[in-house]
Structure 1
Amino acid sequence: MRFVHLNSLVLALVCAVPTVASAQWQWIDSAGKKVFSDQSPPPDIPEKNIVRRPGGGSPRVTFPQGTPSAAPDAAEPGTAPAPATAASGARPSGVDKELEEKAKKAEEAEKAKRAAELQKVAQAKAENCNRARQSKATFDSGIRVARLNAQGEREIIDDKARAEEQQRLQTVIASDCK
């Protein structure tokens, strides 16, 4: 009997989860990005940009501009009291300061990452330039140069292969040594 009660409790909880998750607002902000929140959008978001409300299609409640220090019972009958914002009474801007700081830090980290990658590329080009210049000097000197073939044997490079290698090295020097 106890097992049946436990199963029905688990089933009830599983069925209740989607209703809690659907209690979200969804709107398009001034930058054109979709915003999901459990709080209503800021007052500067037009009604046409609100994509989804919790609980269906009830319109957004707007409050008259009043002093935040007014007592709730002093409000006109039939209107809800304005929610208290910050202690200063300022209107919420709709932008989270912590989120802005995180976005700035992420952007700075991305810039630093790109700069480090560019530095690595520049260093690799400088190394390629030095190797190409040294190899070109070796080939231009006229000394015999040998390479290993597929069987692991040393072969002396002929004049045609030497000219091709000198041309290839000149191309590397022209592209990497700037």
Structure 2
Amino acid sequence: MPIARPSPLLPLAVAACLLALAGSAQAQWIWRDRNGQITASDLPPPREVADKDIVQRPSNARRPLPPPAAASAASAPAAPRVDPVLEQRRRAAEQEQQAKLKAEQERVAQARAENCRRAKAQLAGLQSGQRIARLNEKGEREILDDKGRAEESRRAEGIIASDCE
């Protein structure tokens, strides 16, 4: 039995089939964007593109209509669901942080009030004219002279200015 030879038209038929299949996979929508650039895609153009800017459409195809307003609100993604336990822990952590901050502010306010009270008492003593002694670096008692009294008065007044409101 003789071996059958393939027809010389067989390669052409295969090429024609491949071209037909490739044609359906090619971009079918062509449009001009707002910058004037030509874009081709197998998907329809974005809704911002006007119909007059669509250069080519696939046969028997129209752009999908936008959904009605009620449907778009219903199809909008819902707010992410929050775990109530995690939300409660987050709130508790925030409240604890606020309580710590408030306690620190109260502590600082009390320290400033105490510094103010002491500085006012020191200044009153310095201005009274009575003799004031302090210990020097060697641990010896030393009576403040007029220069030392003026320096201590300036220091007390600075503390009063910063801590007494």
Displacement of 1:92 = 8.9
Q: Among 120, 123, 138, which residue is 1:136 paired with?
A: 123
Residues 128 and 104 from structure 1, CA distance in 2 versus in 1: closer, same or farther, beyond 3 angstroms? Answer: same
Displacement of 1:126 = 0.6
Displacement of 1:93 = 3.4
Mapped partners of 2:79, 2:152: distance in 1: 69
* Unaligned ranges ≥5, structure 1: 1-90
Q: 2:38 corresponds to which residue?
A: none
Percent same amino acid at aligned positions? 52
Mapped partners of 1:93, 1:166: distance in 2: 64
Q: Deviations over 1:24-82 (max 9, x none)?
A: xxxxxxxxxxxxxxxxxxxxxxxxxxxxxxxxxxxxxxxxxxxxxxxxxxxxxxxxxxx
Matched, 1:161 2:148: yes
Point out 4+ residue stretches in structure 1 off by more than 6 angstroms: none
* Structure with max Cα Rg: 2
Matched, 1:107 2:94: yes
TM-score under structure 2 length normalisation: 0.51
SS in 2 for 1:95: coil
SS in 1 for 2:162: helix
Q: 1:174 corresponds to which residue?
A: 161
Mapped partners of 2:149, 2:79: distance in 1: 74
Displacement of 1:95 = 2.2
Mapped partners of 1:108, 1:115: distance in 2: 10
SS in 2 for 1:113: helix
Alignment of 1:1-178 (within 5 A): 93-178=80-165
TM-score under structure 1 length normalisation: 0.47
Mapped partners of 1:122, 1:134: distance in 2: 18
* Unaligned ranges ≥5, structure 2: 1-77
Aligned CA RMSD, in angstroms, stands at 1.5
Mapped partners of 2:118, 2:101: distance in 1: 26
